[in-house]
Amino acid sequence: MEAGAATERTAGAPPAWLLGAAPLALIALVIGLFALLDGPGLGERSGPPVEELAVERTVLRPGEIELRIRNDGPDAVQIAQVTVNEAFLPFEIDDSRIGRLGSSTITIPYPWVEGEGYGVAVFTSTGGTIEHEIPVAVETPEADAGFYGLMALLGVYVGVIPVSLGMLWLPFVRRVSHEWLRVLIAFTIGLLAFLAVDAALEGLEIAGEGPGAFGGPALVYLGALVAYLGLSGIDAHLSRRRAAAEEAGGGTAPAGSYLALLVAIGIGLHNLGEGLAIGSAYAAGALALGAFLVVGFALHNTTEGLAIVAPLADSRPSLSRLLALGLIAGAPAILGAWIGAAAFNPSAAALLFGVGVGAIAQVIVQLSPAMRDSRRRLLHPGAVGGLLGGVAVMYATGLLIAG
């Protein structure tokens, strides 16, 4: 009887969509009125305008310094003057008045000398200064075919080749006992955990350089959340199709080839971030492309190949499938290097690093069941040893890059 009454009420009332839209329309109306009346009752703003500018990109050409600046604060900013190393200089700016979240490019003719450091100060109309340091002046590479080629080569060196080489552990992985395989999976999880922490810290550092208005460090967390939820959603969707196979196999862990794909995607997203960092550092002249550094990155990333093949112990993937996995994990380094060198943006980079973190976290969650021993313990001695071993190897090979 009650249900019937409810239905009756619904029938006589306006449709649901209207009830949903009415508050929205009202909110729009109130905001419109508020803006039209210039915030009635609030009076004048207190204090001087807030001026926040962030330098997003520095380009050095012979005899010229170019800065791309973004207004990071709540108020419009008027650019008045520029000094380089404590000297006023004539400059050009495409739009000296920068609105909220707007950006502008300042070009300063200046005879900078390679290898020397420069401090640029941008003066606003109120006399405030925004200071930007160029620690080591190096000409910004022209984004031509040769440059993209070099970045691609770099991506291949630090991404594709080491990951592929690491995958050559597959025959070994096939031969080891189940006990040792669990240790290897734990080792892989250790590697991934290290990468996740590493990417998170790097993302947070880069986010600190960019404009805070876009979220700053929050972008890393948001990226991680989006990636984790996104991959979990895809996983839930795919697991329905996989359910039958799993029942047949009787195992609790997802199928090996599927896990390997997830690991490859996670590592690929991480390498995208790594490529981004390498590319932008190279473009900024902050990276010496020494053989030592490349070797360090290569060794560091070789272990990532092992992480991909570890879940493949029980399956017999084709060579083309293995190659595809290697490319999925390694090739994003090339893409990252291109983006990083040609169009580096701290906010976008922070978001990408966050995406890498979320992807790796999701992979770890997927991989963990495979670590369980026959008594279904997760952190059995072998697993703990493997985890610590993975972290230790990443730390040790990471030292090669830190130089």
Partner 1 sequence: MTNRKLTRRGLIAAGAAAAPALAALHETVPHDGLHDALAGDGRAHAAEHPAGGHAGHASGSGMAMHDGFGEATVDHAANGFDPSEILRDFDGGTTSRLPGGRTLREWTVLAQDKEIEVAPGISYPAWTYNGRIPGPTFRATEGDRMRIRFVNGSSHPHTIHFHGFHPDFQDGMPGIGEGRGGGTIENGEEFTYEFDAEPFGLHLYHCHVMPLAEHIAKGLYGAMIIDPPEPRPPADEVVMVMNGFDTNFDGANEIYAVNTIPFHYVERPIKVKRGELVRIYLVNLLEFDQINSFHIHANFFDYYPTGTRLQPTEFTDTIIQGQGQRGILELKFPYAGKFMFHAHKTEFAELGWLGFFEVEE
Helix (H, G, I), strand (E, B) or coil at 132: strand
**Binding to partner 1 in span 262-291, by CB under 8 A:** none
What are φ and ψ of residue 178, in 5° steps? -60, -40
Kindly tell me which residue out of 54, 57, 110, 221 binds partner 1, with binding defined by CB under 8 A. 110
Instruction: Please name which of 93, 114, 115 lies closest in space to residue 105, comparing C-alpha atoms.
Output: 93
CA angle (354 as vertex; 271, 164 as ends), nearest 5: 15
Q: Does 50 bind partner 1 (CB under 8 A)?
A: no
Among 34, 39, 45, 94, binds partner 1 (CB under 8 A): 94
The H or E element that residue 82 is part of is strand 77-84
23 scored as a contact of partner 1 (CB under 8 A): no
CB of 59 to partner 1, least distance (A): 15
Query: Is residue 120 involved in binding partner 1 (CB under 8 A)?
Result: no
| Smallest distance, partner 1 to C-beta of residue 345, A | 19
Report in angstroms how near the CB of residue 94 gets to partner 1 at its nearest. Answer: 6
Answer whether 135's CB lies under 8 Å from 286's CB: yes
Instruction: Write each residue from 58 to 87 as x if it is in contact with partner 1 (CB under 8 A), else as -, in one continuous string.
Output: --------------------xxxx-x--xx
Query: How crowded is residue 40: how many other Cβ atoms within 10 Å of its Cβ?
Result: 9
**Nearest approach, Cβ of residue 133 and partner 1 (Å):** 16
d(CA 186, CA 367): 9
Beta carbon of residue 71, minimum distance to partner 1 (angstroms, whole number)? 11
When asked if residue 112 is in the footprint of partner 1 (CB under 8 A), the reply is no
Question: Per CB under 8 A, does 128 bind partner 1?
Answer: yes
Judged on CB neighbours under 10 Å (0-12, 13-18, 19+), 65 is buried
Minimum distance between the CB of residue 128 and partner 1, rounded to whole angstroms? 5
CA torsion sign for 146, 147, 151, 152 is negative
Q: Does 233 bind partner 1 (CB under 8 A)?
A: no
Out of 4, 43, 127, 403, the only residue in the binding site for partner 1 (CB under 8 A) is 127
State the Cα–Cα distance between residues 304 and 329, nearest whole angstrom: 8
Residue number with CB closer to partner 1 (102 or 149): 102
Residue 347 burial (10 A CB sphere; 0-12, 13-18, 19+): buried
Residue 265 C-beta: closest distance to partner 1, Å: 36
What's the rounded Cα separation, in Å, for the pair 396 and 403? Answer: 12
Query: Applying CB under 8 A, does 38 fall inside the site for partner 1?
Result: no
Instruction: Please identify, using beta-carbon distances, which residue of 102 and 208 lies nearer to partner 1.
Output: 102
Among 55, 93, 259, 364, binds partner 1 (CB under 8 A): 93
Three-state DSSP at 378 gives: coil
Q: The tokens of 30 are what?
A: 């109130």
317 binds partner 1 (CB under 8 A): no
Beta strands in 110-201 (DSSP E): 118-124, 129-134
Any contact of residue 152 with partner 1 (CB under 8 A)? no
* Number of residues engaging partner 1 in binding (CB under 8 A): 30
**CB 65 → partner 1: shortest distance, Å?**
12
The neighbour count for residue 306, using CB atoms within 10 Å, is: 23
Residues that bind partner 1 (CB under 8 A): 78-81, 83, 86-97, 99, 102, 109-111, 121, 123-129
